[in-house]
Each structure stands twice: as structure tokens, then as C-alpha cells.
Structure 1
Amino acid sequence: MTPRIRNIAVGLVVRDGRVLAEEHAVVPGHHRFARAIGGGIEFGERAEQALRREFREELGVELTSRTARRDGKSVRPRRRTRS
């Protein structure tokens, strides 16, 4: 079987320094791990549409336009510099 590359859209929900993640297992009954909410981008779907769909399917919530980012960049907390 030829490996395939699949584009995904994921979103981080951060509140009070905590990150919402979903528990997932590649194979049922095996080790579980945490991952960001999201999933595969369907053919003809934009990343933002996929992310909205995934949040609707997995959490039953609708994202507002103000909460969705689509810059594709990693977001990291700012580091404090010593004065």
C-alpha cells in the first residue's frame, strides 16, 4: 500500500492556560493519546470549513468568525524577557 498524505485542520481551545484536547487511539484497545480537535479536509473543502465542521461534529459547537484563524502558522505563547 502506498502511503498517502492527508491534509488536516485542527484548532486549539485555550482557556485559563488549559488546552482542550480529545483522547484518541489509533487502534481500539491500544494506547491512547491526546490530540487537538480537528480532522481531515474533504475534497473541495477549505481548511476553515473543515475546522468548523469538525468542531460541529466532535463538540456540537459552532465557531464564530472571530474565533477562527486561518493563517496556517503555529501560535506560541510570548516569552517573557528579563528587563
Structure 2
Amino acid sequence: MQDIHPEVVQAFGNRVRVRVCGILIEKDSILLVNHRGLNKSNLFWCPPGGGIQFGESAAESLQREFREETGLEIDVLDFLCVNEYSSQALQAVELFFLVRRTGGHIATGTDPELKQQIIREVKFMTIQEIRNYLPAEVHNLFSYCSTLADIYQLKGNFLTKNA
């Protein structure tokens, strides 16, 4: 718990959070967001996404999160898989969807729920670039994939990560 920024724990901790995450693959790269304050290395790359707000559908939430975090407009294409994450302070059930870019320009966005911003950077990365990071510095999803094409093979799977 000491590795997670206190504001993150206050905003999202000690409850189960339902999140939506978007897989946007273009050419040979996947769009990822770099967050600080989520682990010891203060570096964490994951697909864009965030919590579902009351009254929103999963697709509406994911479209909002993409706008906030990346500046992009998307269409939600297909449900992919579920990832369950659990640590001492954070617990989330993450619904992953395949998405397609429809507009906007990539920009490093913000997380409106936090005063101190944790989003550092947004960029497309190849699987080789992702492999240059320690497993704790990238989303658990990548522990199941040797190639980006392997992500499509996760369809219907239930992934689990306990920190």
C-alpha cells in the first residue's frame, strides 16, 4: 500500500471498482497510458480506461475515458476479456474492449478525479517496447501475450492479478 500514492487510495481504494479499458491497436502498436503513483517504480503502462460512472453504459464510459486520457474519439467494437486485480488497497474488475479510433488527436490527458495528475504520457508502443519494462511496470494483460496478435486470443478469458 505504501507504493500507491495516497490520493489514489483515497479516490479509488478500499472498494471494488468496475473499470472499462480499451484496446486500440494500429499497425504494429497498441495505445498505452503511463501512470505514476501506482507502484514502487512510479511507472505503470496500461491501456486507456477508467471507472464506470453511475448511469453510463460501459461503451459510454470507455468513450469518455478515451477523450479524457488520450484526446481520441473511439467506437467500441467488441468485448474482449475480464481482468480482476486485487492488492492491499485497490481492487478492480476490468472489462476490456476492442476499440477503433474515429477522431481526435493523441494528447496526454488528465484524470478529473484527482488533483495531482497521475497520467504522464500517452503513446503507441510495440510489444518489443513493452517487453523492455519490468512485469510490474506494465498491465497484467501483457503477461498473457507474446505478440500483440495474442491479445485477440484472450477473448472470453478471465485474467487474475494479485499484488
Q: What is the CA-CA distance between 1:59 and the residue it aligns to?
A: 1.8
Secondary structure in 2 matching 1:68: strand
Change (3 A) 1:77 1:44: closer
Q: What is the CA-CA distance between 1:17 and the residue it aligns to?
A: 2.0
Aligned identity (percent) is: 32
- Unmatched runs of 5 consecutive residues or more in structure 2: 1-12, 82-97, 99-150, 154-163
Q: Which amino acid aligns with 1:49?
A: E
Q: What is the CA-CA distance between 1:57 and the residue it aligns to?
A: 1.2
Residue in 2 aligned with 1:40? 51
TM-score w.r.t. the length of structure 2 is 0.39
Residue in 1 aligned with 2:28? 17
Say which of 65, 72, 90 aligns to 1:54: 65
Aligned residues: 73
Say which of 69, 74, 78 aligns to 2:77: 69
Q: Which amino acid aligns with 1:51?
A: L
Once superposed, which parts of structure 1, at least 4 consecutive aligned residues long, lie more than 6 Å away?
none
Q: Which amino acid aligns with 1:7?
A: V
For 2:20 and 2:43, locate their aligned partners in 1 and report how far apart those are by CA, in whole Å: 20
Provide, for residues 17-52 of structure 1, a one-character-per-residue CA deviation record: whole Å limited to 9, x for no partner.
Answer: 21110100225x952110110111111111100000
Contact 1:47/1:70 (<8 A) preserved:
no
Q: What is the CA-CA distance between 1:68 and the residue it aligns to?
A: 0.9
What RMSD, in angstroms, separates the aligned Cα atoms of the two structures? 2.6
Larger radius of gyration: 1
More helix by percentage: 2
